[in-house]
A and B are shown apart, each in its own frame.
Chain A
């Protein structure tokens, strides 16, 4: 069965600091990996995705993520966080003929001024 672990429930960073949100997945074949962001009271917006190819993927809002097969990880990074990045971040995995996304439990990001 596929699963996603986001080890950090809550992370606090200062505005302008760098950010890394961790994601580990379990999937038997080549995974398709996603990061979504949810602002308070909003739906989920896709930040970036990995299907194949270059293991470093760029997304919207200055985010990037790196797929590391050997570590079963897909960590999200941003070099300089803005106050508007405060939100809940979800990592998700899907794959091949699998018909669903499995989400991690989310990481809440707080940004201090």
Chain B
């Protein structure tokens, strides 16, 4: 069973469109995250949620809106897509919020905006 699964794996879309990426974890973790990996492979946190509550919003444009319907799911909706949004987006989860817990990552969603 996949621990952290995200869909779709690939997403190609035109500028200006709105798209969503879904993420689910079956680990029973309290905390979920979205990370963005740019073309130079640099990973940066975007959001974290703990028990459906937003904890971190790392100065991400408000075109990006995460939604956590329950603690097993954290979806990412992106409005008015721009070329610069092209990246790989990783969902992750951890048992709890504090730093002494490892994060488990999904396989990533490669978003290409044309």
Flag if A49 contacts B97 (CB, 8 Å). Answer: no
- Residue B106 at the chain A interface, CB threshold 8 Å: yes
Interface size on B, residues (CB 8 A): 27
Flag if B106 contacts A43 (CB, 8 Å). Answer: yes
Interface contact B41-A99, CB-CB below 8 Å = no
Interface centre among B4, B41, B56, B97, by most chain A C-beta atoms within 10 angstroms, is B41
Query: What B residues does A108 contact at CB under 8 A?
Result: 41
How far is it, in angstroms, between the C-alpha of A36 and the C-alpha of B45 when the chains are bound? 15
Q: Across the interface, do B105 and A43 meet the contact criterion of CB distance under 8 Å?
A: yes
Nearest CB on B from A89, distance (A): 11
Instruction: Tell me the residues in window 70-114 of chain B with beta carbons closer than 8 Å to chain A beta carbons.
Output: 90, 92, 97-100, 102-108
The interface residues of chain A lying within 8 Å CB-to-CB of B40 are 105
A99 to chain B: closest CB distance in Å? 5
**A residues adjacent to B (C-beta < 8 A):** 32, 34, 36, 38, 42-46, 49, 51, 88, 90, 94-103, 105-106, 108
A-B contact pairs, 14 of them (CB 8 A): A42-B107, A43-B90, A43-B105, A44-B43, A44-B92, A51-B100, A95-B99, A99-B56, A99-B98, A100-B56, A101-B45, A101-B103, A105-B42, A106-B41
